[in-house]
Amino acid sequence: MKLPRTLVATGLLVGAVAVIGLTWPDLVSRTAYAIESEQASATRAQLNAARDLSRAFQDVAKAVKPSVVNIRSVAKVRPTGPSRVPQEQLPEQFREFFGDDLLDRFFQRRVPPEGLVQQGVGTGVVVSADGYILTNNHVVHGADTITVTLSDDRKLDGKVVGTDEKTDLAVVKIDAKDLLPAELGDSDQINVGEWVLAVGNPFGFANTVTAGIVSAKGRTGIADPSMYEDFIQTDAAINPGNSGGPLVDLEGKIIGINTAIFTRSGGYQGIGFAIPSNMAKQVMESIISGGKVVRGWLGVAIQNLNADLAQSFGYDGSDGALIGDVTAGSPAEKAGLKNGDIVVEFAGKPVKDMNHFRNTVAATKPGTKVELDIFRDRAHKTVTIEVGELESRGVVAAGGKETTEDLGFTVQTLTPELASKLGYTENEKGVVVTAVEPGSLAERAGIQPKDVVVSVGGEPVKNMNDFRAAMKKQDLATGVRLQLKTEGMKRFVFIKR
């Protein structure tokens, strides 16, 4: 008699079990054990990985903490004016960023009654065996005395070697032996997602270590527009008192100096900012060697590109920096740079945007000759330029009657009388914006009253006749490029319906 296949198969399996001397329950039990063993092995591997990371944190904390110091500054209150900056006079960016009680909460400063003293508390990090310390400018600004407390509780007098308001950095010097300096790393090599540790004295709790990751790089627009910004963003807990402390990688190298937080409450909310170590190193070395920060300068007003503005120049992409104006007698003018040039590369490296270009030039030693790859007249061109030295200059801001109804602004010829009232020479030519309609294309493009239109679509404008003739050649459907002059500096705007 022929058995069904299922029964034959079962018989074979049972026979196999019998041959190896196992009962069916034994086989099931051993199989379950094997599965559980594999899972346990996987769990052990995960635990080992977690322990390895934990040990890495421990090793970094142990290596860095001896280099981190507490800085306490004391300034005598001088009755020469208001004892503090009124909140309404704070830059809008600071009030929006930190809240209306910025001075009290973030900088940990309390302004005492007249005749007493004002104290500030922050952090610093020893970066050399001979006692140089990196910290924030706002930690030591205006201080009459500075006390530095080391990790071994030694208290020493600190001396400010130099400060730099444009980056919010300062260098302090102490005289001490047996210092353990931390090593400055290469912030350009840090990647988003990498583990980092922040060390400091938040709310006065000395040698506090927090862990997180690099959340973003190249953050700008955080504080004053005149500052040099290229912040590393992190979610490692940073609180008032952490200012000036180090942000380090898993090798224990400093990749940033903690300087600011985004907060609605005054405390940690997951967003902190650090000045990149490469920027800090350049500023520190300049202060130590020359007593001041020396920056490169080209003499151009620059702005970012958008897709429409780039297309109007025949340029593919939005990377690069657009030159809106060239300063007379500057290195840029001597090298032949012109309004409307787009800087694509600086010294062989791509230019990302206006801020990146500005920081790169500033970090270049004056007297250095570099090659620029620029885009002009729909073609690339190489220009050699010798970088000058930036001196103390004002902040460069990239920003009968006839109404241009489609655009939404009113202009008239710039007469000598008008030019004089606006602070220009009597020979200044163009048409001046006298009114801008709310919600119009002009307003959305950033055009404001008192702006002077000096060119339309690349054609010079000296008066209303030039303006009308140039505008007749333009098509709002494809867009109109205007060059404006505001307070002596030129910039481009692009308007499209």
Share of the chain above pLDDT 90, in %: 47
Whether residue 154 sits in one domain with residue 212: yes
Burial of 42 (0-12, 13-18, 19+ CB in 10 A): exposed
Whether residue 118 sits in one domain with residue 261: yes
Question: In this structure, is residue 138 part of a structural domain?
Answer: yes
Question: In this structure, is residue 11 part of a structural domain?
Answer: no
E strand segments, 56-187: 68-76, 117-126, 132-136, 145-149, 155-157, 159-164, 169-173
pLDDT of residue 435: 82
Question: In this structure, is residue 7 part of a structural domain?
Answer: no
Least trusted range by pLDDT, from 20-29, 337-346, 367-376, 451-460: 20-29
Least trusted range by pLDDT, from 12-26, 163-177, 346-360: 12-26
Q: What is the token pair recorded at 38? A: 């594999």
> For residue 476, is pLDDT > 60?
yes
Q: Looking at this protein, which amino acid is placed at residue 145?
A: T
Question: In this structure, is residue 266 part of a structural domain?
Answer: yes
- CA-nearest of 237, 150, 246 to 202 is 237
**Which of residues 291, 310, 325 is at a domain's end?**
291
Show the domain range for 477. 402-495
- CA-nearest of 316, 373, 323, 369 to 348 is 373
pLDDT of residue 8: 39
Whether residue 474 sits in one domain with residue 342: no
Better-scored residue on pLDDT, 142 or 395: 142
Look up the CATH number of the domain holding residue 84: 2.40.10.120
Question: In this structure, is residue 248 part of a structural domain?
Answer: yes
Whether residue 427 sits in one domain with residue 336: no
Query: Using one digit for the tens of pLDDT, what is the confidence trace for 51-109?
Result: 888 899 999 999 999 999 999 988 876 544 444 444 444 444 444 444 444 444 444 44
Number of domains in the chain: 4
pLDDT of residue 477: 77
Least trusted range by pLDDT, from 32-46, 103-117, 172-186, 449-463: 103-117
Question: In this structure, is residue 158 part of a structural domain?
Answer: yes
From residue 294, give the alpha-carbon distance in Å to each of 166, 218, 283, 367, 392: 12, 22, 8, 11, 11
Whether residue 121 sits in one domain with residue 164: yes
Least trusted range by pLDDT, from 92-96, 300-304, 324-328, 480-484: 92-96
Question: In this structure, is residue 164 part of a structural domain?
Answer: yes
Least trusted range by pLDDT, from 6-20, 191-205, 264-278, 346-360: 6-20
Whether residue 302 sits in one domain with residue 373: yes
Which residues are designated catalytic? 138, 168, 243
Whether residue 369 sits in one domain with residue 408: no
> For residue 316, is pLDDT > 70?
yes
Whether residue 212 sits in one domain with residue 239: yes
- CA-nearest of 323, 336, 231 to 277 is 231
Contact at 8 Å (CB) between 212 and 236? yes
Query: Using one digit for the tens of pLDDT, what is the confidence trace for 32-42?
Result: 666 667 777 77
Q: What is the DSSP-derived secondary structure letter of residue 395?
A: P
Helix (H) or strand (E) holding 356: helix 354-362
Better-scored residue on pLDDT, 113 or 291: 291
Whether residue 461 sits in one domain with residue 322: no
Whether residue 203 sits in one domain with residue 234: yes
For all residues of the chain together, what is the average pLDDT? Answer: 82
Query: Using one digit for the tens of pLDDT, what is the confidence trace for 228-264?
Result: 889 999 999 998 889 999 999 999 999 999 998 887 7
Better-scored residue on pLDDT, 23 or 192: 192
C-alpha to C-alpha distance for 250 and 75, rounded to whole angstroms? 37
Rounded mean pLDDT, 309-315: 92
Residue 376, C-beta contacts closer than 8 angstroms, at least 6 positions apart: 338, 340, 341, 342
Contact at 8 Å (CB) between 235 and 213? yes
Better-scored residue on pLDDT, 471 or 128: 128
Whether residue 102 sits in one domain with residue 58: no
**Which of residues 291, 309, 324 is at a domain's end?**
291
The residue behind tokens 């690099």 is 214
Share of the chain above pLDDT 70, in %: 80
> For residue 9, is pLDDT > 60?
no
**Residue 21: pLDDT band with limits 50, 70, 90:** low
> For residue 358, is pLDDT > 70?
yes
pLDDT of residue 438: 78
Look up the CATH number of the domain holding residue 471: 2.30.42.10
pLDDT of residue 23: 63
Q: C-alpha dihedral over 325, 330, 336, 342, to 10 degrees?
A: -40
Read off φ and ψ for residue 237, nearest 5 degrees: -60, 120
Q: C-alpha dihedral over 277, 282, 288, 290, to 10 degrees?
A: -160
Strands 169-173 and 231-234: unpaired
pLDDT of residue 113: 54
pLDDT of residue 209: 95
Helix (H) or strand (E) holding 358: helix 354-362
pLDDT of residue 419: 82
Question: In this structure, is residue 280 part of a structural domain?
Answer: yes
C-alpha to C-alpha distance for 119 and 112, rounded to whole angstroms? 9
Least trusted range by pLDDT, from 50-64, 221-235, 313-327: 221-235
Query: Using one digit for the tens of pLDDT, what is the confidence trace for 441-450?
Result: 888 888 988 8
Count CB neighbours of 343 within 10 A.
Answer: 24
Rounded mean pLDDT, 209-230: 86
From residue 112, give the alpha-carbon distance in Å to each of 108, 195, 241, 416: 13, 41, 19, 52
C-alpha to C-alpha distance for 101 and 281, rounded to whole angstroms? 32
- CA-nearest of 442, 443, 434, 437 to 415 is 434
- CA-nearest of 276, 201, 205, 184 to 234 is 276
Whether residue 122 sits in one domain with residue 36: no
**Which of residues 235, 262, 291 is at a domain's end?**
291
The residue behind tokens 């151009």 is 300
E strand segments, 207-253: 208-219, 231-234, 246-248
pLDDT of residue 352: 93
**Residue 401: pLDDT band with limits 50, 70, 90:** low
The pTM of this model reads 0.66
pLDDT of residue 328: 83
pLDDT of residue 262: 84
